[in-house]
A and B are shown apart, each in its own frame.
Chain A
Amino acid sequence: MTEMVRAPRRTFPNPMAGMDDRRRQIVILAIVVALALLYPLVYRRLSDAIPFVPWPDTAVLVVCATFAILALGLNIVMGFAGLLDLGYVAFYAIGAYTTAFLASNHFGVHISWWIVLWLAVAAAAIFGVMLGAPTLKLRGDYLAIVTLGFGEIVRLVFRNLGDITIALPAILGGAVLVGPNANLTGGNVGINPIDPPIIPIPGPWGNQLIFSNQNVIASWYLVLGLLTITFFICRRLRDSKLGRAWMAIREDETAAAAMGINTVTTKLLAFSLGASFSGFAGAFTGAYNTAIFAETFSYNVSILVVVIIILGGIGSLRGVVIGAFALLYVDRTLLPWIGDNIINDPMHDLGVSTGQQILTDFKLTTYNYLIFGIVLVIMMIRRPEGLFPDAGAKAEMHGVGIAAEVTGASEAELTVLGELEEVELDDAPDPDPNAPAEPPSTTTGPEAAR
């Protein structure tokens, strides 16, 4: 785990800290920020000085931060409001495609990325409402399937609209309405190139500062900025009236409605705000890679973000960010490193000697989702609150959950308790790993009480 901590961001797990020690928190925050800012500058020297350690390169950190933004966004929908969304990648795709449409040669429109960013956010948020509005009444697992289907539809539509012909039937004259073979979205080939974000100020970097994968270090600072904004917005949202309304709905929708919460607008706001952050991530990714392809926005990405949230601690902001860096680091640096240095060659030799083609071609990274799948199952059984849960979430899962069983009190009554505790124990130490884990109660609606 040490490597993971080195991969920066503001959020150390903090095993021995005094809980109310605000100063300590600030010191740690400062260290993490300093590490995050300095790491790309010292990365080369570090990896030269200490070889045989899988140091993440800056491009990996950029991906980590992008997924941290995605995870924070999904955390609003899943962690705060308790709505399981398996098609979150759709909004990521919408954000990225909005950027591609408005800042590339594809339609010949070239709007500055700094404006496109907000248009992408708006587009994602609008689609969030479009998906959310009709599905509000659905219970948890049906919602999961609908969102999954929506994610697939968005990917397929972006792929298929690369070559589209719409014509009236021959009886009605057969006039071609769209096409023939119109290319609206780039299809399988995608859209390439996309204008990267540019600051037209000369400096040591040349005439203008370009934030693309040609200049990874600058991009890292940009995405770090986006992540910081996202993080603080999420934090303010969590502590706001709206945030408390989300959590009340998550715990018991009926009770929340009885307390005067407008469940319809509250849930819609969760969908649209959650989606808007993936618009952030999408706009950045498209411009950073200066190209997008429909196939990058597959179901696996949605699942990866879900795994990040579950692993980091559902509902916990710092947990989600640590989870994103940890998981993407494992995926992009550690697994390839272990594969290249430890496992692939012996497997290859074994394959050659036994004549098994699959072993000969063995690449550990091919099976990364095997590992993620096992992690999901084990986490659900052993530690459903995640590795770095919020103090409040922990209180809900352990203390209040048990209290509800013992006293027979309704969860809604106890949620209030949970929130009081959350305020007091804002930064509790890591929970005892051996503590009996009550799973998170993230079900929605009256069926939770079934």
Chain B
Amino acid sequence: MEELVKALTIGVTNGLIIGLIAIGYTLVYGILELINFAHADVFMLGTAFTYFATELIVRGLGIPASSTLALFLTLLALPVIMLMTAGINASIERLAYRPLRNAPRLAPLISAIGMSFVLQNVGLLLLGPSQKAVEPVLPRTDLVFFPSGAAWFGIDEIIVLSVTIPLLLALRWFVGSTRQGKAMRATAQDREASGLMGIDVNRTISLTFLIAGGMAGAAGLVVALYYGQTFFQYGLQFGLLSFTAAVLGGIGNLTGATLGGLFVGIVAAMSDRFIEAKWTSVIVFSLLILVLIFRPTGLLAEQQSERA
């Protein structure tokens, strides 16, 4: 029972991180009908930037890693990292996808695969070929104890949740309630008609990529701190999990992406704990294939049903 609750906590924490990345896939797919293969590698660059930020704070400024100040400064770096990954993501759109806006669908997809490899190699240049340990700025104090005295969850999980949940809510509000969000939804429904209605389509698409990149950057920071390491192949690992989450939730559906992330996170945590960690990817990918075969529109209905 305690095992189950502990696995559930880890699953929810991971699930919200996966949801944060999945939202990037879902936003971009909703608006361009493109699986942005490079998205997860933007996230990977976010973990790399976080690594360098903590190095700067701990090594450069000489602030002890376990101090509250180090944690505070790292969290201050969050907006900077988000801006950087947002800029990278928007530049990718400008360079590799926009020239192919009216090309057949295979063309931007392959271009995206190409960008993914470019970013992966940038990560390889920045981080080297092996995992890099991130300074332990995230306190690991356990908070709640079972009657037996075993730990349930810790400050680290609370901090992760306090980054991911507000971001997810803010995004929901932005897309659902602002003028720009309305423009995004309109462009997703019908790009041509939105252009005729006076929406600057290119600007809206750029904005979508900025937001998706920012979310990926935030997820990068959280993963680098929570996992305590960064790796140039994180893109592929988390990318497939997150894409599965986006598909599970019905691609194009923001709430669905978050719920899908939670589902994937919990399934992965359960598999890690009760089956074996090496089988987790197999289970998640099989889940993806099964969902696509039996419910190609995801477990929740797709928002724009004519796209199904």
Chain B residues with CB under 8 Å of A152's CB are: 240, 281, 285
Name the distance in Å between B106's Cβ and chain A's nearest Cβ. Answer: 5
Interface residue? A372 (CB, 8 A): yes
Interface residue? A369 (CB, 8 A): yes
Chain A residues with CB under 8 Å of B129's CB are: 366
Name the distance in Å between B283's Cβ and chain A's nearest Cβ. Answer: 9
Chain B residues with CB under 8 Å of A153's CB are: 281-282, 285-286, 289
Are A148 and B95 touching (Cβ within 8 A)? no
Chain A residues with CB under 8 Å of B103's CB are: 380, 384, 439
Binds A, one of B81-89, B119-127, B215-223: B119-127
Chain B residues with CB under 8 Å of A303's CB are: 113, 117
Interface residue? A381 (CB, 8 A): yes
Name the distance in Å between B98's Cβ and chain A's nearest Cβ. Answer: 10
Name the distance in Å between B115's Cβ and chain A's nearest Cβ. Answer: 6
Among candidates B100, B105, B118, residue contacting A374 with C-beta atoms closer than 8 Å: B118
Are A373 and B285 touching (Cβ within 8 A)? no
Are B243 and A145 touching (Cβ within 8 A)? yes
Interface residue? B116 (CB, 8 A): yes
Are A145 and B35 touching (Cβ within 8 A)? yes
Chain A residues with CB under 8 Å of B122's CB are: 370
Chain B residues with CB under 8 Å of A82's CB are: 106
Are A160 and B278 touching (Cβ within 8 A)? yes
What residue of chain A has the Cβ atom nearest to residue B285's Cβ? Answer: A149
Among candidates A156, A367, A375, A381, residue contacting B99 with C-beta atoms closer than 8 Å: A381
Are A376 and B111 touching (Cβ within 8 A)? yes
What residue of chain A has the Cβ atom nearest to residue B287's Cβ? Answer: A149
**Chain A interface helix/strand/loop/mixed:** helix
Interface residue? A306 (CB, 8 A): yes
Q: How far is the CA of A447 from the CA of B308 in the complex (A)?
A: 10
Interface residue? B146 (CB, 8 A): no
Binds B, one of A134-142, A170-178, A277-285: A134-142
Are B110 and A141 touching (Cβ within 8 A)? no
Are B292 and A142 touching (Cβ within 8 A)? yes
Count of interface residues, chain A, beta-carbon cutoff 8 Å = 49
Interface residue? A440 (CB, 8 A): yes
Among candidates A146, A367, A442, residue contacting B106 with C-beta atoms closer than 8 Å: A442
Q: How far is the CA of A192 from the CA of B120 in the complex (A)?
A: 32
29-61 of chain B: CB within 8 A of chain A: 33-35
Interface residue? A310 (CB, 8 A): yes
**Chain B interface helix/strand/loop/mixed:** helix
Are A310 and B110 touching (Cβ within 8 A)? yes
Name the distance in Å between B272's Cβ and chain A's nearest Cβ. Answer: 14
Interface residue? A102 (CB, 8 A): no
Are B96 and A377 touching (Cβ within 8 A)? yes
Q: How far is the CA of A157 from the CA of B281 in the complex (A)?
A: 10
Chain B residues with CB under 8 Å of A376's CB are: 110-111, 113-114, 117
390-435 of chain A: CB within 8 A of chain B: none
Are B288 and A146 touching (Cβ within 8 A)? yes
155-209 of chain A: CB within 8 A of chain B: 156-157, 159-160
Q: How far is the CA of A324 from the CA of B194 in the complex (A)?
A: 44
Among candidates A144, A157, A357, residue contacting B109 with C-beta atoms closer than 8 Å: A144
Q: How far is the CA of A150 from the CA of B282 in the complex (A)?
A: 9
Interface residue? B236 (CB, 8 A): yes
Interface residue? B72 (CB, 8 A): no
Interface residue? A46 (CB, 8 A): no
Interface residue? B245 (CB, 8 A): no
Name the distance in Å between B173's Cβ and chain A's nearest Cβ. Answer: 29
Among candidates B95, B118, B236, residue contacting A299 with C-beta atoms closer than 8 Å: B236
What residue of chain B has the Cβ atom nearest to residue A82's Cβ? Answer: B106
Interface residue? B128 (CB, 8 A): yes
Interface residue? B197 (CB, 8 A): no
Are A372 and B35 touching (Cβ within 8 A)? no
Name the distance in Å between B245's Cβ and chain A's nearest Cβ. Answer: 12
Q: A366-B129, A373-B121, A377-B114 are in contact. Are A141 and B105 (CB under 8 A)?
A: yes
Q: A358-B125, A377-B118 are in contact. Are A156 and B111 (CB under 8 A)?
A: no
Q: A135-B292, A145-B292, A160-B279 are in contact. Are A380 and B100 (CB under 8 A)?
A: yes
Among candidates A134, A138, A358, A441, residue contacting B104 with C-beta atoms closer than 8 Å: A441
A-B pairs with beta carbons under 8 Å apart, 23 shown: A86-B113, A134-B289, A135-B289, A144-B35, A145-B292, A149-B286, A152-B285, A303-B117, A306-B110, A306-B113, A358-B128, A367-B121, A370-B117, A373-B113, A374-B114, A376-B113, A377-B96, A380-B96, A380-B103, A384-B103, A439-B107, A440-B104, A448-B104
* A372-B114, A372-B117 given; 16 more Cβ-contact pairs under 8 Å: A137-B296, A138-B296, A149-B240, A149-B244, A149-B288, A153-B282, A357-B128, A361-B128, A367-B125, A370-B117, A373-B116, A376-B117, A377-B118, A380-B110, A439-B103, A441-B104
Residues on A lying within 8 angstroms of B by beta carbon are 82, 84, 86, 134-135, 137-138, 140-142, 144-146, 148-150, 152-153, 156-157, 159-160, 299, 303, 306, 310, 357-358, 361, 366-367, 369-370, 372-377, 380-381, 384, 439-443, 447-448
